[in-house]
């Protein structure tokens, strides 16, 4: 299409992984590199979208791969990510939550570097973080399209695909990208295998499945999002 599949659309993408400080030098974090999220931002911009990327602890070398048209807001913690998303939500037609968000944060952040005390172990109390995606679903305006991610390894009771379908219904977003992260796949690598699901009421359907570089996968996801957006 002239101008691209997302021409005239404003796309909010989150990337990377949040970090929760324990003290001035330590944090609780995850292995997300931000490569998938920045690839999505790149693909959405290439499709003509006006893209705002909220990047949680994404390395400068990964951010350097973005075109200059992408607006970048850098955040560290889940609270900062939540605030940036809430601020950007009213001016977004599509929200793609690809960031790996810490489910917990320290109940208290020590003001000074924690010291080792004797031979005892250490207990750190954690409190639950709010679910940003679920919050965006609650506060969304009319026809805003919200896309969640699920990084699943499967469990003894259910495979990754079943868990992803259940997550899509539970979170109430419109689309969900399943990322199979079993056996060291996905995190930090340049390739990914994904399945894109769409929700219609209580029904979940598979939109597409694909495997390839994070850029290739992102192009397909963006095309799938655009097709749902434009009906």
Q: Which residues are annotated as a binding site?
A: 103, 113, 130-133, 149, 167, 171
**Residue 30 known to be catalytic:** yes
Give the torsion sign (CA, 62, 65, 66, 72).
positive
Q: What are the structure tokens assigned to 210, written together?
A: 């694909």
Q: Which of 34, 148, 160, 224 binds ligand C5P (CB under 6 A)?
A: 148
| Alpha-carbon gap, residue 40 to 211, rounded angstroms | 14
Is 37 a binding residue for ligand C5P by CB under 6 A? The answer is no
Task: Provide, rounded to whole angstroms, the least separation between the CB of residue 131 and ligand C5P.
Answer: 4
Under 8 Å between Cβ of 66 and 48: no
Is 207 a binding residue for ligand C5P by CB under 6 A? The answer is no
Task: Provide, rounded to whole angstroms, the least separation between the CB of residue 113 and ligand C5P.
Answer: 27
CA distances from 51 to 96, 105, 191 (A): 11, 29, 23
Q: Enumerate the H helices of the chain as residue ranges.
A: 35-46, 60-63, 78-88, 132-139, 160-171, 214-229
From the list 30, 129, 179, 192, the catalytic residue is: 30
Is 103 a binding residue for ligand C5P by CB under 6 A? The answer is yes
| Residues annotated in a binding site for CTP | 103, 113, 130-133, 149, 167, 171
Query: Per CB under 6 A, which of residues 108..147 are in contact with ligand C5P?
Result: 129, 131-133
Is 97 a binding residue for ligand C5P by CB under 6 A? The answer is yes
| Alpha-carbon gap, residue 182 to 186, rounded angstroms | 9
Active site residues: 30
> Which residues in this chain contact ligand C5P in the complex, by CB under 6 A?
97, 99, 101, 103, 129, 131-133, 148-150
């Amino acid at each position: 299409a002239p101008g691209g599949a997302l021409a005239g659309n404003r796309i909010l993408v989150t990337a990377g992984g949040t970090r929760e400080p324990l003290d001035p030098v330590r944090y609780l974090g995850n292995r997300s590199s931000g490569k998938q999220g920045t690839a999505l931002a790149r693909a959405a911009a290439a499709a003509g979208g006006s893209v705002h990327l909220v990047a949680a602890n994404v390395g400068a070398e990964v951010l350097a791969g973005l075109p200059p048209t992408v607006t970048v807001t850098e955040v560290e913690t889940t609270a900062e990510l939540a605030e940036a998303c809430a601020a950007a939500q009213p001016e977004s037609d599509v929200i793609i939550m690809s960031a790996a968000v810490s489910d917990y944060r320290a109940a208290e952040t020590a003001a000074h570097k924690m010291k080792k005390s004797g031979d005892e172990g250490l207990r750190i109390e954690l409190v639950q973080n709010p679910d940003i995606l679920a919050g965006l679903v609650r506060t969304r305006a009319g026809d805003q399209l919200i896309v969640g991610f699920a990084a699943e390894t499967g469990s003894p009771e259910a495979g990754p695909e079943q868990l992803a379908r259940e997550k899509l219904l539970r979170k109430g977003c419109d689309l969900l990208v399943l990322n199979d992260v079993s056996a060291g796949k996905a995190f930090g690598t340049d390739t990914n295998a994904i399945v894109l699901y769409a929700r219609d009421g209580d029904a979940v359907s598979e939109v597409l499945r694909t495997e390839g570089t994070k850029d290739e996968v992102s192009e397909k996801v963006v095309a799938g999002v655009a097709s749902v957006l434009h009906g």
